[in-house]
Amino acid sequence: MSSPTDEPAHPTREEMLAYLEDRGIGDPQVMAAMARVPRHAFVPEEVRHRAYGQRPLPIGQGQTISTPFIVASMTELLELQGTERVLEIGTGCGYQTAVLCEMVREVCSIEIVAKVAEFGARNLARLGYSVNLRVGDGADGWPDRAPFDRILLAATAPRIPRSLLNQLAIGGIALGPEEAPPGEGDPHDREVLARYQRLEQGFERTEIYGVRFVPMTGKVQQ
């Protein structure tokens, strides 16, 4: 199996896709979306030559674009069928947003950092993606457009806020990074990807794997 340290100086989209297959991404719809979305169009020009590599890249304002594997894996874990309405918390540069747009009926996305939101909105508009965007605190969600079939968080919260989980439809899935409990896991990797499914009564929570994301800001830190 190849690793990020083995990648060429100017990785190609084809090499990215081969790496994703090597890492076990098996949903053909996810792979098709990853093939269609031009990742290089979502990063600043100075790092564009590294767009298809397997490392996070800076997009300004202390924010990053997640690795292709994380984007593909999280998308796959949402178990999308194509009819869903999805709420994304953390628009960022718009890359994950675009991948979702390729696969679902409707995407709503919230970004708390205004300059990052502008960057993401420009990228998405340039490529013709139709998305409901707003600048605001992701912990609030988007009550006027709820319920959502899926909710995806791209920043780490102590726990996915209940205010978001309550905007899930019955049977819906929320996925995002959470802080691991003190004393658990590697001391350098204190975050875990958590998946919630809304049941008729309550939520079922599953831990997937260790991750590293930028912290979610706003109300969750109060």
Active site residues: 66
Report the amino acid identity of residue 181: P
Q: What is the 3-state secondary structure (H, E, C) of the chain?
A: CCCHHHCCCCCCHHHHHHHHHHCCCCCHHHHHHHHHCCHHHHCCHHHHHHCCCCCCEEEECCEEECCHHHHHHHHHHCCCCCCCEEEEECCCCCHHHHHHHCCCCEEEEEECCHHHHHHHHHHHHHCCCCCEEEECCHHHCCHHHCCEEEEEECCEECCCCHHHHCCEEEEEEEEEEEECCCCCCCCCCCEEEEEEEECCCCEEEEEEEECCCCECCCHHHC
C-alpha to C-alpha distance for 177 and 180, rounded to whole angstroms = 9
59 phi-psi bin (left φ>0, alpha ψ -120 to 50, beta other): alpha
